[in-house]
Structure 1
Amino acid sequence: MSTMTSALLNPLKLGPYTTRNRIFMSALTRNRSVPTNVPNELNVEYYRQRARSAGLIVTEGVLVAQQGSEWPHAPGIWSREQVEAWRKVTNAVHAEGGLIYAQLWHLGRVAHPEAPEHIASGQPVYAPSAIAARGGKFRHIPGKPDATNVTPTEIDDPKKLIALFKKAATNAKEAGFDGVEYHGANGYLPNQFLNSGANHRTDSYGGSIPNRARFILESLSELIEVWGPGRVGIKLSPGGGYNDVGMPLEETIETFSYLIQEIDKLGIGYITLARYSEAFDPVIDGKRRGTPHDVMATYGPLLKNPKTVVLATSGFTPEEGAQHISNGSAAAIAYGMLWIAHPDLARRIQEGKPLNGQFDMGGMFGHYPPYPHSEDLMKGKQLEQLKEDLKKGYTDYPDAV
């Protein structure tokens, strides 16, 4: 163990739990719930491998409704079949002594009405306002390989969408999860309500900062009703950029400062702050959309409630993460891509093993399977062979010797 990373290895009180270390696993959408949206045995093994050393696992984004689909073969938690399938995952994680939270996810305006799952829902693409997000790519939809702007349907009553999150939280509890994380980041539905560029409503969910923050705060209150505050977390990305969200710096700081101080009053288990990253701020119409600023230094000090800890995420090295823990700016670090190629990441750090796993990035999302595997399914490729193919880059990384 290096003294430079030793701070990562201390236990952490997180709501009612004590984690074995502070090396958490961030949500990583991996598109392996074939053939549709139900977790399978391959998903069980993936989480089992990483549960052996992670302090906390946050699942890939779990769709709260079928009309919230974006990626092919992303799992949901709205049906009985999905609940039963997730129970196999949570049982496997618990058998390894791990903790696992479900990240509850709704895409809002960045879903596509021609995606197979969305068509099956029979629902429109819902969003706070009828404003399209620029720059989305839908390679899994035949004939839609390039940027596609879809004008969504403005939801008449946002409480209908809040109810989807509450139902998903109830299902997650039944499936054996240890808690839930509300996905309020990366330009998805909750972030769209918060963002003045995506939300032009004139009712109590739009306009002023308190109104735009209302959807997130009411959603969290519903999750707390199901789980209690200590087993609820939220992820936020104030730097914006991804999925065409972003506000001027002054408005960004004012908006997120208000939201975070209001969340602080709820006493939830944690807030994950994603620091600004160019990788999540694509160039749209010739310029980036995000608002670069020091997220941890700006918002971390606003949290005063001793019940709520701050987690940090977005491209941290082990050494850098340990430094943030040591200086008090974060209680734990949620690593993402490092967990892909290192299923034993925390053990490697603890034992001083090298982080030498290699995966072909191939662009920002090259660590996901190529989208043509969706076409394989439509052409009738044998499902079992497809599952074998999808182990590559998913469950075939070795533990450290």
Structure 2
Amino acid sequence: MTTLFDPTTVGDLRLANRIVMAPLTRNRAPDAIPTPLMAEYYAQRASAGLLITEATAITQQGQGYADVPGLYGIEQLDGWKRVTQAVHDAGGKIVVQLWHVGRVSHTDLQPHFAKPVAPSAIRAHTKTVLIKDGVPTFVETSEPRALDPEEIPGIVMDYRHAALNAIAAGFDGVEIHAANGYLIDQFLKTGSNHRRDDYGGSIANRARFLLEVARAVTEAVGGGRTGIRLSPVTPANDAVDADSQPLFEHVVRKLAPLNLAYLHLIEGATGGPRDLPERPFDYAALKAGYHAAGGQGAWMVNNGYDLALAQQALADGADLVAFGKAFIANPDLVARLRAGGPFNEPDKTTFYGGGDKGYTDYPPLAN
């Protein structure tokens, strides 16, 4: 029987095991520049089969939180080169998560203090993070403006350029962030997309932006080095759709021909309940539809997994299991899972911002 610790091939990547470190925003990149401390942090966790970086802005317009990294400036790329080199020196594989937050932002973070952009001028009922007097502070998001149709191709090209930057910075691949109520997800879902042009209304129109981005990225760096993250029913960042099942079945069918390395599925509410009675969703049907359309990418599951649940997921046909918060406090999570524990508990007060405390100072298993 397949176990978490068995090697596998995912697209162009040969992975030492099926354990994935999920993207975890930590707000430790002042001026959007990755630091040497970040290189240490990721290298500590390189025993995972695959590391997915914290969400990384493809442009300044795509930034929604203070002190998150970017992938569009020379200093940012130099910082990421230190990270990828450290991970590779430790024997790991790492991909970067490409991020445009859309409306989940604040004017203080935008170029020239402009309004954030979105499919429609509908404010998100959620919060973002600014640094005030040196302290991360949660604030309400700003009112966005609707993107003009002629602006959209430029953002698609921003994703393409960021993917090329990622490969130049030494990443093994990229993950398109199409989940959790950020820009691509905003286009997908009826609660945030009220457009009446080719990017709104029907399922095919609402999925258009995602598919344009996915095609642009795979054409630039190859499907075998590209993954995509989806969250069909999470309420994160005020993301709501009237009927998620047909929407996401359409999405995965259209993604199938791109020969992606993997699809990364958040099951249920991001960081919350796996089952949402008010938003039922059939993930097995979604997976079956993807395979029926010829999709060959690995199926990565995420949300609330422990060792037993992860092994059951593999038995049920998943290929990879992503662990999030467990990796914060357990840099050697692979060894701890293999041993059945014990596990460090994360200090939630250090999740966002700060230095090495709660970041690189968690102890490994004693020899």
TM-score between the two structures when normalised by the length of structure 1: 0.84
Whole-Å separation in 1 of the counterparts to 2:325 and 2:37: 19
The one-letter code matched in structure 2 to 1:356 is: F
Shift in CA distance, 369/196, structure 1 to aligned 2, threshold 3 Å: closer
The one-letter code matched in structure 1 to 2:31 is: T
TM-aligned CA deviation for residue 292 of structure 1: 3.0
Partner of residue 14, structure 1: 10
**8 Å Cα contact 1:273-1:295 kept in structure 2:** no
Partner of residue 332, structure 2: 344
The one-letter code matched in structure 1 to 2:238 is: D
Whole-Å separation in 1 of the counterparts to 2:302 and 2:22: 8
Partner of residue 283, structure 2: 296
Whole-Å separation in 2 of the counterparts to 1:161 and 1:290: 36
CA shift digits 1:42-73 (9 cap, x unpaired): 0000001001x100000000111112222221
TM-aligned CA deviation for residue 139 of structure 1: 5.5
Partner of residue 363, structure 2: 398
- Please list every run of 5 or more consecutive structure 2 residues that lacks an aligned counterpart in the other structure: none
Whole-Å separation in 2 of the counterparts to 1:38 and 1:236: 26
Shift in CA distance, 135/173, structure 1 to aligned 2, threshold 3 Å: same
1:162 paired with 2:151, answer no
Alignment coverage as a number of residue pairs: 359
Equivalent residue of 2:236, what SS?
A: coil
Partner of residue 373, structure 1: none
Whole-Å separation in 1 of the counterparts to 2:137 and 2:6: 46
Q: Which of 284, 292, 299 is the matching residue for 1:310? A: 299
The one-letter code matched in structure 2 to 1:338 is: A
CA shift digits 1:195-249 (9 cap, x unpaired): 111111111111110010000001000111111111100000001201111123x
Partner of residue 325, structure 1: 314
Partner of residue 133, structure 1: 124
The one-letter code matched in structure 1 to 2:322 is: A
TM-score between the two structures when normalised by the length of structure 2: 0.92
CA shift digits 1:313-366 (9 cap, x unpaired): 0110121111110121x101011011011101112222x1513202233xxxx4
Whole-Å separation in 2 of the counterparts to 1:66 and 1:136: 18
1:199 paired with 2:199, answer no
RMSD (Å) for aligned C-alpha atoms: 2.3
The farther-off stretch of 165-174 and 64-73 is 64-73
Shift in CA distance, 132/169, structure 1 to aligned 2, threshold 3 Å: same
**8 Å Cα contact 2:271-2:303 kept in structure 1:** no
1:44 paired with 2:35, answer no
TM-aligned CA deviation for residue 100 of structure 1: 0.4
Equivalent residue of 1:391, what SS?
A: coil
Shift in CA distance, 210/184, structure 1 to aligned 2, threshold 3 Å: same
Shift in CA distance, 47/358, structure 1 to aligned 2, threshold 3 Å: same
CA shift digits 1:272-305 (9 cap, x unpaired): 1100037458xxxxxxx99533453241222213
- Please list every run of 5 or more consecutive structure 1 residues that lacks an aligned counterpart in the other structure: 282-288, 371-388
**8 Å Cα contact 1:274-1:295 kept in structure 2:** no
Partner of residue 258, structure 1: 250
CA shift digits 1:153-178 (9 cap, x unpaired): 11113112111111111110110100
TM-aligned CA deviation for residue 96 of structure 1: 1.2
Once the two structures are superposed, the pairs formed by residues 126-275 of structure 1 within 5 Å of their partners are 126-138=117-129, 140=131, 148=140, 150-156=142-148, 157=150, 158-248=152-242, 251-275=243-267
Whole-Å separation in 2 of the counterparts to 1:291 and 1:187: 18
Shift in CA distance, 38/163, structure 1 to aligned 2, threshold 3 Å: same
Equivalent residue of 2:264, what SS?
A: strand
The one-letter code matched in structure 2 to 1:152 is: P
Q: Which of 19, 23, 26 is the matching residue for 2:19? A: 23
**8 Å Cα contact 2:245-2:281 kept in structure 1:** no
TM-aligned CA deviation for residue 147 of structure 1: 5.9
Whole-Å separation in 2 of the counterparts to 1:232 and 1:369: 27
Identity in percent: 37
Shift in CA distance, 295/37, structure 1 to aligned 2, threshold 3 Å: farther
Partner of residue 53, structure 2: 59
Whole-Å separation in 2 of the counterparts to 1:16 and 1:219: 20
